[in-house]
Structure formats: C-alpha cells, structure tokens
Amino acid sequence: MFDHLRKDAAKYADQGGWYSCPGFWIIAIYRYGVWVYALPVWARIPFWLLYRILHLSYWLFNIHLWAGSRGSRLGPGLFLIHPNNVYFAPHMTLGEDCTVYHEVTLGMGHVVGPPRIGNNVTIFAGARVVGGIEIGDRVMIGANCVVMRSVPPDTTILPAPYKVLPRSLSPHARKVDRASASQTPDA
C-alpha cells in the first residue's frame, strides 16, 4: 500500500505537493480500502468502518470508485487531475502511471465486461471508455472521445472532427428563414 501511495504522491509534485491535491486523497482512500479488504475478516471491521466514513467524501466530487473484491484495480502512479465526475466500473483494471481527467467514464458497454487499460495511458476530460475492451500501453484518449473498441499500444485517439452542415438542413434555420421571408415585402 505505501509503495503505491509513494508513487501516487510523486505524480503530484508539480501541482504544489500531494497534501493539497484532492485527487491524491481520493486515491489514498482507495489504497486504504484495498489494504482493509486484504485483512482477515475478523480484524477488518474497525478499519472497514473508517474506510466507509472516508468513502463518503467521494460524494463531494461525484467519484464512483470502490476497493475490495468487487472494486476496481488501479495500478500505482495514478494521477487524477480535477477529480470530479469520474466513474470507475467494478472489476476494471487500470495500469501504472495513468492520468485521468474530469468527467471520465470507465464503465460497462455493449461488449461484456469492464475495460482493461494498460500502463502510461492518459484519458482526457469527457472521455468514455466502455465495455470489455482493452486499451494498450502509452495510449492517449482525447477529450470527449467515446471508445468502444480495443485500442493497440502507442496510439492517440481523437474525437471526430466537427462538420458545418448547410443551413438548409437545420429545421430551426428553415423555420427562421421562412418566417423572415414571409415578413419581407415583395417588390
């Protein structure tokens, strides 16, 4: 537990230190929960109660992350930047030295099972990785991407480029154009 926490804390050195970053404390509570669930059942109860009380702080950030046999498996060196609205599916695995931004969902999808994410993966804001897919090592998933298929290592995933559609295809624009055409006097 403490080796993982040291590696997690090292990721926060550029952010002013681990002690002032809520992302570190969220991970620390998770690591504590993993340690608690590794204890024998008879010795677990008082530590489990403390874990459950500390886990209530996740509601402030809308984080869904559980330790234990049905929880997620997170590798050391996890860096949560702006830890708000992040969902980690039960039984999903996240490798070492990963970075996760806010509004990220790592959950279930059309492919049965939770995602398996490799080492040194960066998942930017608003991304969704869903289903029993595998994300390779050193992958960058861009903001607002929806990943539903496995991704090979050393890949960058970007969202589809936006397209500007002609005004005639917009029902709202057609209604405005008709209204303005009916108000103009004919010459």
List the domain boundaries for the chain: 1-76, 85-187
Cα angle 21, 90, 11 (rounded to 5 degrees) comes to 25
Token pair for 92:
């999903």
CATH class of 85-187: mainly beta
Q: So what's the pLDDT on residue 174?
A: 75
> Do 6 and 41 form a contact (C-beta atoms < 8 A)?
no
| Residue 93, strand partner residues | 73, 116
pTM: 0.81
> Do 124 and 101 form a contact (C-beta atoms < 8 A)?
yes
**1-18 per-position pLDDT tens digit:** 678 878 888 878 777 777
Pairing relationship of beta strands 63-64 and 116-117 according to DSSP bridges: unpaired
DSSP reduced 3-state for 159? coil
Q: So what's the pLDDT on residue 160?
A: 79
Token pair for 37:
């669930």
Residues ≥6 apart with Cβ < 8 Å to 186: none
Q: So what's the pLDDT on residue 186?
A: 59
The backbone region for 156, taken as left when phi is positive above 0, alpha when psi lies in -120 to 50, beta otherwise, is beta
75 DSSP assignment: -
